[in-house]
Amino acid sequence: MKGPRRLAPLVLTSLALAGACGLLWAAAGEESVQLKDAPGRDLTTGRCIICHSLEYIPSNAPAMNRAAWQKTIQKMKDRFGAPLTDEEATQILDYLDGSYSGKS
Amino acid sequence: MVTRRELLLGTAGGWLLERAWAGEATDTLTALPGKKPLIRRAFRPPNFETPLADLAPPFTRNDTFFVRYHLPVIPRVDPATWRLQIAGASAQRPLTMSLRELRGGFEHVAVAAVNQCAGNRRGLFTPRVPGVQWGNGAMGNALWRGVRLRDVLHRAGVAPDAAEVVFDGADSPILPATPDFLKSLPVERALDENTLIAFEMNGQPLPHWNGAPARLVVPGWVGTYWVKHLTEIRVEPKAFDGFWMKAAYRVPTGAFPGSRFTSQENAETTPVTELMVNSLITSHVSGAQLRRGERAELAGKAWDSGAGIEGVEVSADRGQSWRDATLQRDLGRFAWREFRFALDASRAGPVEMAVRARSRSGAKQPDKLTPNPSGYHDNIVQTVSLEVV
């Protein structure tokens, strides 16, 4: 089924907030998942939770390194339409690589 | 709430434990409305896995059946107002029907079949690959009842130039740029007598989380094709070019046996299609202890893509010799088949049991994983390490 066709940036922000506050029923409880405290956490949280809860990040860490996170962020931006500037993408990459790169 | 698994991830030593994947002991169980507690891989989109104990019954209960979604907006569909549209450039007589018309307009049929996510066991891959880190429980066996997709397509008229049939469900993305979840099948598979539009699962209406009010059932093919909450079916003369066909759910061309989806194939990659012959020990996990002198039985399930299971062999000597397990009741060629094997608990000490299923197609479970970037088709021989005390 087709999703909404047009969303203003303001709406996107509210969606992100709605995700965190539990507008969608499935969000209930997901606020229990928190990312590690390091620079870039709030930006990462805010962008990622627009579409998905945060478990994907720690659960994928053992499969990830900087190159893999770079590829994933690029996919989220290019394929899934994540609203990210290049600068934000770099900040998120630094955060994820620093806190969740577990691949040896 | 911080789980032990997440705590482990926070420490350097945690990586090792995480990689060793010591069974399901560190997994978090959470209940979705209408479901028993399942292993939570993600809240949103909801991805919940069936615990091992719940894979032991012949048919997986509806309230323990795994849940897998790609997109976060999942409406509760009202069966009274639900409509299924059949259209497309190769549909000669496009039509729309209600659930009552679908149920009343075609012969009802049922098939017992395994529904297994393509990425089942991805979390057990070595080296690790990104994606939902499933253990063994992104699968289940159910009795699906509905109507043949073929009968519905013939009512709409399939033009001779039809190549693929495309399926859309009620779930949708949040961001307009996110690709909606649409899947296609080769027209031959869509017209196969075993491919159903199901509205019942194990004698009950489909649960919301498993695709109410009607979903596609494609016995023998991986779960990604079993589109839930069906809303639209399009018969098309050319290959569907959506993201979930062209860029996702693909394996290296020629790497695996099974049906080819030629209209979607290129020199590098091809869609993941049929299930591989596989088995799962449900009675024991590594680390379990047996009491010396007491009767004990290894039990589990074996399945393939529909040729049927010919045999299941068990080895207690690291694969040097194999003995036949006893196969239980045949529930149908697309279902799993239970096996049982009496364990020798006469001497104290470690016991390592390996299990290998063999399909009537001649295929056997391999010893080595075939690497592929998305972590599909893990069907290697499973070994459990037990101890007689």
Do B266 and B283 lie in a common domain? no
Give pLDDT, residue B328: 98
Average pLDDT estimate for A55-76:
97
What value does the mean pLDDT take over residues B105-132?
97
**3-class SS of residue B150:** helix
Interface contact flag, A81 B178, Cβ < 8 Å: yes
Q: Are residues B259 and B294 in the same domain?
A: no
One domain for residues B235 and B299: no
Which pLDDT score is estimated for A30?
83
Quick: pLDDT tens for B166-215. 999 999 999 999 999 999 999 999 999 999 999 999 999 999 999 999 99
Candidate from A1, A53, A62 with C-beta closest to B44:
A53
Give the pLDDT confidence of B48-80 residue by residue, as tens digits: 999 999 999 999 999 999 999 999 999 999 999
CA of A89 vs chain B CAs: smallest distance (Å): 17
State the amino acid at position B367 in one-letter form: D
Q: What is the pLDDT of residue A32?
A: 83
Has residue A7 got a pLDDT over 60?
no
Residues of chain A contacting B133 with CB distance shorter than 8 Å: 59-60, 63
Q: Based on the domain organization, do B204 and B160 belong to the same domain?
A: yes
Same domain assignment for residues B352 and B373:
yes
Q: What is the mean pLDDT of residues B268-279?
A: 98
Distance in angstroms (rounded) separating the CA atoms of residues B167 and A45: 33
Residue B259 lies in a domain: yes
Asked if residue B6 is part of any domain, the answer here is no
Selection from B137, B150, B142, B163 nearest residue B68 by Cα:
B137
Residues linked to residue B182 through DSSP beta bridges, in sequence order: B168
Residue B34 in domain: no
Residue B27 confidence (pLDDT): 86
Same domain, B296 and B347: yes
B256/B358 same-domain check: no
B222-257 pLDDT, tens digit per residue, is 999 999 999 999 999 999 999 999 999 999 999 999
Say if residue B88 is in the same domain as residue B133: yes
In this predicted structure, what is the pLDDT of residue A31? 81
Q: What is the mean pLDDT of chain B?
A: 93
- Residues B255 and B305 occupy one common structural domain: no
Residues present in chain B in total? 389
For chain A, the residues whose C-beta falls within 8 A of a C-beta of chain B are: 1-7, 12, 15, 19, 24-27, 29-30, 32-34, 36, 50-53, 55-56, 58-64, 68, 72, 79-83, 102-104
Note whether residue B322 is domain-resident: yes
Q: Identify whether residues B235 and B314 lie together within a single domain.
A: no
Q: Are residues B250 and B287 both part of a single domain?
A: no
pLDDT at position B2: 33
pLDDT of residue B105: 98
At residue B161 the predicted structure's pLDDT band, cuts being 50, 70 and 90, is very high
Closest CA to B147 of B111, B186, B98, B93: B111
Last residue of a domain, one of B224, B254, B271: B271
Residue-averaged pLDDT of chain A: 82
User: What is the distance in angstroms between the Cα of A81 and the nearest Cα belonging to chain B?
Assistant: 5
Residue B297 and residue B208 share a domain: no
**Rounded distance between C-alpha atoms, residue B328 and residue B311, angstroms:** 11
- Residue B50 CA from chain centroid, whole number: 11
CA atoms within 13 A on the CB side of A27: 17
B210 is in which domain, residue-wise?
Answer: 83-271
Last residue of a domain, one of B250, B271, B292: B271
| This prediction's pTM | 0.91
- 3-state SS assignment for residue B313: strand
Q: How far is A60 from chain B (nearest CA, A)?
A: 6
CATH number for B373: 2.60.40.650
Please tell me whether the peptide bond between A4 and the residue prior to it is cis, using omega within 30 degrees of 0.
Answer: no
Taken in order of first residue, the domains within chain A and their CATH numbers are 9-100 (1.10.760.10)
Q: Do A103 and B127 form a contact (C-beta atoms < 8 A)?
A: yes
